[in-house]
A and B are shown apart, each in its own frame.
Chain A
Amino acid sequence: MSVKLGVPSKGRLMDKTFDWFGARGVRLGRAGSEREYAGRVEGIDNLELVLLSAGEIPRELAAGRIHLGVTGTDLVREKLGRWQQRVEEIAGLGFGHADLVLAVPRAWVDVSTLDDLDAAAAAFRAAHGFRLRIATKYHRLVRDFLRDAGVADYRLVDSQGATEGTVKNETAEAIADITSTGDTLRANHLKLLDDGLILRSQATLFRTRAVALEGADRDTMVELLKQLGVD
């Protein structure tokens, strides 16, 4: 056995994760070519790097198939019910910052708060005969947020990409999506609601609660967390 660390398999998130570990003396990298999803580790023994889609890391952690994993807090909360009982947050890594927000057309000058959104949704439903549609891929997080806020007469429509375009395309009236700077929202004539911040997310190192490590593996985990300065 060995301790398995899951890391996003591509893009900035992978590069920055490699940098973060590298700065702490744990050098991670891809084995072989750019296209190969096998990892290599230097600077500590008995640690295995597993390259995965960031979206699959929460599930793999919850199942205990990887022991540590780097992914966004948004993905863990969206994909895992009772996430605190299934994974442990070890450290925020200080990058991959993104906020999950509710946004509506900027032309909706009458809608600035959730209170307004709720009232506009009621009027919209009466006028159009169907519920105001909110496009998102974060169904659980958005639904829980709106339920807590007591917003009614909306429905979520699934959007796995180009979510900001759904309003213009008339497949949704509002959106809930990840934004880091808000530029994409502005470019698509959308605005944030004053109280529409659903979640602040960043790349985070998680540990599974599904399996207890023993022997050499447990020693590796202790040593690793010490070396990373997060023990």
Chain B
Amino acid sequence: MADPAATRAEAMRLRGLFEAEGATPVETTILQPAEVLLDLYGEDIRARAYVTSDALRGEQMLRPDFTVPVVQMHMAEGAEPACYAYAGEVFRRQEDDPDRANEYFQAGFEVFDRENPAAADARVFALFHRVLAPLKLRAATGDIGILMAAVDGLRTTERRRAALRRHIWRPRRFRALIERYSGRAPVPESRAALLASADPMADAGPVIGLRSEAEIRARIEVLREDAAAPPISADEVALLDAILAVRETCPYALERLRDIAVDMPLIAPAVDRLGQRLDALAGQGIDIDALEFEASYGRTQMEYYDGFVFGFYADGRPDLPPVASGGRYDALTRQLGGGREIPAVGGVIRPGMVLELASRAGAGR
């Protein structure tokens, strides 16, 4: 592990590189109000962030990332377009793996620009690619937007599409829902009994708690409607599986997705956006013929990326977290914007890992 002073200096060096790209340097507080983060991420964030509290301000979290406070700041007072750079410590609980750092530096770069998302994606990726080039890392890319478009394009009820959209970032539950909606998983006995009952509330006993009888009856109605809806067809499930299985270098991935879009035309705009992004990346000098694309990449990370996603990894070191990662998070700006939104893309580099890998490469020479 590099010493803290060297890591801080490296973080500031990286931030300097981002500033040279036109970014405005910003600072955020280390203590963040817990409510915003809990509302965004749900209970899972408690397993990943340190929560503390006092009697006046209530629960606070030690900053688990910069993105949320930077977005809040931009939505509150930023002019457009905007581009920010930051560097500092983040804190993550690591209760199951003592080898993972619970406090480390991040240097980040965020772009808020509604003019040309493909160009903004390419700008961020190319910048990271250039900064990290000496380390000879492996880059991974993906696009959550294509999977979201595929879900939106399913010929089924809006409720089912909404349920699937809600679980895009939880692959296991997503799969379970697909199995059920396509009729491949049996209806649980309890569900069958409920649907068969003429008066399901007859034996319910007293209704206690905030969830009202009306809410219970409303959901029973939803379940009845769902039971009456035809299953998602095997063809459509196969197309969804085909999308999730795409894992090729970028040009082949694009070709494969264009083929799939012939049978699932609603993903075509998202696939076109991938094409525009690849053009923009090539324009930035990225060798897209060698760049990997994986359609399911980024699904198990924190659930705010909803378009382009990327990561940089030290080859042959699967034990290490990514040296850098980032992506597009348009929906996050909508959630934090109080009625406003702006397309946004950004990423972070871990200066501590950059130093560690650089010294290793140096020692090997």
Instruction: Mark A residues whose CB is within 8 Å of B.
Output: 81-82, 105-110, 112-113, 115-116, 118-120, 122-124, 127-128, 131-132, 139-140, 143-144, 146-156, 167-168, 170, 172-173, 189, 194
The listed residue with most A CB atoms (<10 A of its CB), out of B43, B96, B207, B222, is: B43
Query: Do the beta carbons of B223 and A113 come within 8 Å of each other?
Result: no
Query: Do the beta carbons of B208 and A168 come within 8 Å of each other?
Result: yes
Within 8 Å CB of A123, what residues of B? Answer: 215, 218-219, 222
Query: Do the beta carbons of A173 and B44 come within 8 Å of each other?
Result: no
How far is A176 from B206 in the complex, measured between Cα atoms in Å? 20
**Listed A/B pairs (21) with beta-carbon separation below 8 Å:** A81-B95, A81-B96, A107-B201, A107-B204, A109-B216, A109-B220, A119-B163, A119-B219, A122-B166, A123-B215, A123-B218, A131-B43, A139-B46, A140-B47, A140-B95, A143-B43, A149-B172, A149-B173, A150-B173, A167-B208, A167-B209
Instruction: Mark B residues whose CB is within 8 Å of A.
Output: 38, 42-44, 46-47, 95-98, 163, 166-167, 170, 172-174, 176, 180, 188, 190-191, 194, 200-201, 203-211, 213, 215-216, 218-220, 222-223
Q: A107-B205, A110-B219, A173-B211 are in contact. List 16 more A-B contacts (CB 8 A).
A: A107-B201, A109-B200, A113-B191, A119-B219, A120-B219, A124-B211, A128-B210, A139-B46, A143-B44, A144-B47, A147-B44, A148-B172, A152-B166, A154-B42, A167-B208, A189-B206
Query: Do the beta carbons of B204 and A109 come within 8 Å of each other?
Result: yes
How far is A40 from B218 in the complex, measured between Cα atoms in Å? 62
Partner of B176, one of A115, A128, A152, A170: A115
User: Nearest-CB distance from B164 to chain A (Å)?
Assistant: 12
Partner of A170, one of B43, B96, B190, B209: B209
Within 8 Å CB of B211, what residues of A? Answer: 105, 108, 120, 124, 132, 173
How far is A131 from B166 in the complex, measured between Cα atoms in Å? 14
How far is A105 from B205 in the complex, measured between Cα atoms in Å? 9
Query: Do the beta carbons of A108 and B216 come within 8 Å of each other?
Result: yes
User: Nearest-CB distance from B58 to chain A (Å)?
Assistant: 14
Within 8 Å CB of B209, what residues of A? Answer: 105, 167-168, 170, 172-173
Query: Which chain B residue shows the least CB distance to A150?
Result: B173
How far is A203 from B126 in the complex, measured between Cα atoms in Å? 57
Query: Do the beta carbons of A124 and B215 come within 8 Å of each other?
Result: yes
User: Nearest-CB distance from B228 to chain A (Å)?
Assistant: 16
Within 8 Å CB of A132, what residues of B? Answer: 211
Query: Which chain A residue shows the least CB distance to B205?
Result: A106
Query: Do the beta carbons of B42 and A105 come within 8 Å of each other?
Result: no
Within 8 Å CB of B223, what residues of A? Answer: 110
